[in-house]
Amino acid sequence: MAKDEIKILQKNKKAYFNYEVVEDFESGIALQGTEVKSIRMGRFSFGDSYVKITAKGLVLIGLHISPYSHGSINNHEPERERRLLVHRQEMKRMKRKIDEKGMTLVPTLVYLKGNLVKVRISLCRGKQAHDKRNAIRDRDMQREMRREMKNFNR
């Protein structure tokens, strides 16, 4: 794998349904021991994960990384809080936007960049119920169009 090649491990589909994504940020994630192996195997889930800004920096809460199957007693805790690695200026910019506009930070993508695990954090605004209905209707229409095109090409 080349140094700048990206391999997407998992996308947070629930976040794209519940939130309107305004801006994306790339960040590293501080992992320990067997967490990297579990992530590379795809054994993690977003659930209702979110990012919180603390005095220490950005903290990812709610990301479940399953224990590594071949790990020993030194296996990691699945639900622990994990630090996200971003530049201080970038973190200040995120904090300003969250404070002034009432937005939230949500992890939307976990991927490998070279041999590093990266997380895409998105600055999001919550969707209203009618926006979600519109998203469902648009998705159903796209599915119908693909089905019709598939039958048309036969």
User: Does residue 132 lie within any of the structural domains?
Assistant: no
Question: What confidence category does residue 109 fall into, taking pLDDT thresholds of 50, 70 and 90?
Answer: very high
Q: How many domains does the chain have?
A: 1
Asked if 106 and 120 touch (Cβ cutoff 8 Å), the reply is: no
Which residues span the domain enclosing 97? Answer: 6-15+23-124
User: Does residue 60 lie within any of the structural domains?
Assistant: yes
User: Does residue 143 lie within any of the structural domains?
Assistant: no
Residue-wise pLDDT for 111-130, tens only, equals 999 889 999 999 998 888 88
User: Does residue 147 lie within any of the structural domains?
Assistant: no
Residue-wise pLDDT for 39-87, tens only, equals 888 888 888 899 999 988 999 999 888 887 776 666 667 788 999 999 9
User: Does residue 146 lie within any of the structural domains?
Assistant: no
pTM of the model: 0.79
Whether residue 154 is predicted with pLDDT greater than 80 in this model: the reply is no
- pLDDT of the residue at 17: 85
Q: What is the CATH number of the domain that holds 29?
A: 2.40.280.10
CA distance 41 to 35: 10
Q: Average model confidence (pLDDT) for the chain? A: 86
CA distance 1 to 3: 7
- pLDDT of the residue at 130: 80
User: Does residue 70 lie within any of the structural domains?
Assistant: yes
Sequence-ordered list of residues with C-beta below 8 angstroms from that of 112, at least 6 positions apart, any chain: 1, 6, 7, 9, 40, 118
